[in-house]
Structure 1
Amino acid sequence: MASSCMQLCIKHRLLPPVCTVALSTCAQVRHCCTVTRLRHPTTVTGTQTKYQQGQHIRFYSDLIDKHQANETQTLNEIPTSLDLDATTGLYALEEIGDEEAVSLAPLPSIPPVSAFLKDYVDQSETLTKLVQLGVNLWKLEQRPNVGSMLLRLDFDTDVAPRLLFLKGIGVDDSRLGYIITRNPFVLTEDLENLQARVNYLKSKKFTAENVASMVSRAPYLLNFSVKRLDNRLGFYQQQLNLNPSNTRNIVARLPRLLCGSLEPVKENLKVCEIELGFKANEIQHIVLAVPKILTANKRKLTQIFEFLHNTMNVPHHLISKFPQVFNSKFLRIRERHLFLQYLGRAHYDPDQANYVSLERLASSPDDIFCTEVALATPEDFYLFQKTL
């Protein structure tokens, strides 16, 4: 009976936890006493057995009296009446007036959990405006913690001032989406720090057009401190023995030199010097002509050089005069050389007749290469390519 009452009270939350524990304990004690009576019938013979039976009965009787006293004390502490109207909250079926209904704040409609930023676009002004600028949310949500960072930003106080700053230094509107897609953390940079970095670049005689172009093509440029930017400029000036003007030249043309790691740059310089055998002045000329060689794939550099130098017998000084050949595809150089060799026109020495420069070999369109360099038709070249 006590157990059933206890379950009923718990179901309807009529008793506090203390009372529930008391009823549960009392029920267990009564159960133990009942079991004891069943195990020790009154018709027991023997003095020792009767004594043990008496001890068990007195023990459980004392235990019952103790818990009954606790139960009575707990029940006396329960309030006799419950004021159901004391709470100020609204019930689901309670009718309210029109004025009160208008004053109620709507529940937030932003999904509490989602792995995709597109689910928040309709409810977030920041995401809506970023999409209008051309920001690729799909790329941003692939990066850890970027999505939650964007949702915490307020467009008017966080995003708009930085967009106006980028426009103020000359960044075109069409590049804003690209910059934020590549570097969303620029939206959290302090405006004073951003201005200090721009001022530093201008102090190094980078023009306003240079700065705008560099930021547009290397979005992480303004995330680095003035000290780091100064160290990078000093590194290229010392390693390549360049004057300030030439240093600005290569950095302005390839601004990611200030953002990326220096390890690939150091490795490529060692490759050009040790493995390819170029002299210091030749390396300097190559870098000034093609700054991209500092970050180019090492395997591609080695493959093209070995074919030019070992197969085509082009010396170092001729390769350094036209380093743009390293920007060409290896397959293109190989096919054209073999075609000229087949025609007997593979002459790369300027002192020989029918000399073919690396520029015309690597940079000419197919029709011009065939008609002016190989003195053949494009159909002949296409048929030859099928034999390779």
Structure 2
Amino acid sequence: MAQRAIARFGLSLIRRNLKPATSYNVCKKRSLHNTPTTVDNSLTKSYSYSTEGNNPTSGSEESASDEPFENDEVINDFMKFDEELKEKLKTLDSVSIPRKSDSLADYVNSSKVLQTLVMFGVELYTIEKQFKEALDFLVKLDLNRDVVPKLQFLKKNKLTPQEFGATVTKNPHILDPQNKIEDFEEMIEYLRSKKFTSKQIASLLVRYPKFLTLSVPKIDGILGFYQKLPTNFANTIYFSGNQLRSLIIRCPSLLTADLEAVFLNIKLLEQSFGFSLPQIKNMVTIYPNLLLLEMKELELRCRLFLFEMELTKEELSQAALVFNNRRKRTETRHYYLKSLGRNQYKPDQKGYLSMLDVVVGTDEEFCEKCKVGTIEDYERFLKTI
């Protein structure tokens, strides 16, 4: 309808310019002077002319240019010759881009970039919640200039197309035009110089791509901190290159952790609970996430294991995976075993139960491995506390 209306308007202007040739008054005047007049029937609707005097036989005396125009054939001819008008008409049917929005969903229909990211499995709703600052540049990206080269960079570093979505979702700033591919390549070369393998680098890119947008000097300082982990009494816990790489691969969040909080956790273990440096190193090697626990939570778990469950520091250092469990659940299972007289965690004592069997796994697995009744028995106990 918009195309037909514009075409009518254009032809109306043309006909007004041709008004002397199509006006009834002009035709009548020419008839009086015996001048034959030819009228294009395709440009008239309500007038018909006699063969003798060219007088109108029906319709009003208004100019034909004021009549509505509905000849589809002429409209099509007009549009064929007016290419510029046709291009403008096409834009009337195109999807408009919202001027302002707080949601990427409003831009998906009009953005090839966002459509491409969705196709690769990028979770736009997650980005909206966790990276609100990224919304501004995501809607302005150019597919060929900003997105394709960086996806090619990820592919070059052993990532599959199925992994692109997870990587961009976890760190959409990879696509920020301010972050250059040259900087990414410099980071990869640095990791290779530290003897990280291609497989390990690919694992970091998928599991924790935040490191990619850090600077090389900052990463270098962080790795140096963990390789010579400072303690309370001006000593250090030294990790070899292989040990350090293992820590980072298993717990890449260490790269962006608060280093002061990490130091305070080491201080707590050494000063407040009396762990030796070899014991702390062994605990960190077994469970690197220990360094990321909140200081208060780490203190409560240590008190539970050392004072309530009566483990020695050496036993706890050898079973550091017990920290990878909710404290409340561990506490509840211990009280259940205590009510049955089965809370025996010493390897040299009769009825010994492994701490990993007690702490790790579901409630059903706990009851089965420790042989302390059925899950129904355990659930009845839970209702009493």
The equivalent of 2:113 in structure 1 is: 126
Contact residue 169 and residue 208 of structure 1 kept, 8 A: yes
What's the CA shift for 1:125? 0.9
Distance 2:126 2:351 in 1: 52
What's the CA shift for 1:284? 0.5
The equivalent of 1:190 in structure 2 is: 180
The equivalent of 1:212 in structure 2 is: 202
- Trace 1:97-136 onto structure 2 (pairs within 5 A): 97-98=78-79, 99-100=81-82, 101-104=85-88, 106=91, 109-136=96-123
Distance 1:176 1:344 in 2: 53
What's the CA shift for 1:145? 4.3
The verdict on how the C-alpha distance between 1:227 and 1:376 changes in structure 2, with shifts beyond 3 A counting, is same
What's the CA shift for 1:133? 1.5
Unmatched runs of 5 consecutive residues or more in structure 2? 1-5, 14-77, 230-236
2:191 is aligned with what amino acid? L
What's the CA shift for 1:106? 2.5
Q: 115-124 or 191-200: which moved more?
A: 115-124
What's the CA shift for 1:362? 1.1
1:241 is aligned with what amino acid? Y
Deviations 1:317-337 (A, max 9, x none): 111110111111222222222
SS state at 2:290 partner:
helix
What's the CA shift for 1:371? 4.3
Q: Computing the radius of gyration over CA atoms, which structure comes out larger, 1 or 2?
A: 1
Deviations 1:120-167 (A, max 9, x none): 212211111111122222333454442231122111111011011112
Distance 1:254 1:246 in 2: 12
Contact residue 308 and residue 314 of structure 1 kept, 8 A: yes
The equivalent of 2:250 in structure 1 is: 253
Identity of paired residues, percent? Answer: 33
The equivalent of 2:58 in structure 1 is: none
What's the CA shift for 1:285? 0.4
The equivalent of 1:269 in structure 2 is: 266
Contact residue 126 and residue 169 of structure 2 kept, 8 A: yes
Distance 1:252 1:371 in 2: 33
**TM-score with structure 2 setting the length:** 0.72
What's the CA shift for 1:375? 4.3
Distance 1:302 1:349 in 2: 22
2:245 is aligned with what amino acid? R
1:351 is aligned with what amino acid? D
**TM-score with structure 1 setting the length:** 0.71
Q: 334-343 or 318-327: which moved more?
A: 334-343
The equivalent of 2:289 in structure 1 is: 292
The verdict on how the C-alpha distance between 1:114 and 1:341 changes in structure 2, with shifts beyond 3 A counting, is closer
SS state at 2:383 partner:
helix
Question: In the alignment, does 2:345 pair up with 1:348?
Answer: yes
Distance 2:100 2:308 in 1: 61
The equivalent of 1:169 in structure 2 is: 157
Distance 2:137 2:265 in 1: 37
Contact residue 306 and residue 312 of structure 2 kept, 8 A: yes
2:260 is aligned with what amino acid? E
The equivalent of 1:154 in structure 2 is: 142
The equivalent of 1:199 in structure 2 is: 189
Unmatched runs of 5 consecutive residues or more in structure 1? 1-89
Contact residue 257 and residue 292 of structure 2 kept, 8 A: no
The verdict on how the C-alpha distance between 1:129 and 1:360 changes in structure 2, with shifts beyond 3 A counting, is same
2:185 is aligned with what amino acid? Q
The verdict on how the C-alpha distance between 1:374 and 1:339 changes in structure 2, with shifts beyond 3 A counting, is farther
What's the CA shift for 1:222? 0.9
What's the CA shift for 1:256? 1.9
Contact residue 345 and residue 374 of structure 1 kept, 8 A: no
1:102 is aligned with what amino acid? K
Distance 2:369 2:134 in 1: 54
Question: In the alignment, does 2:177 pair up with 1:180?
Answer: no
Q: Provide the aligned C-alpha RMSD in A.
A: 2.4
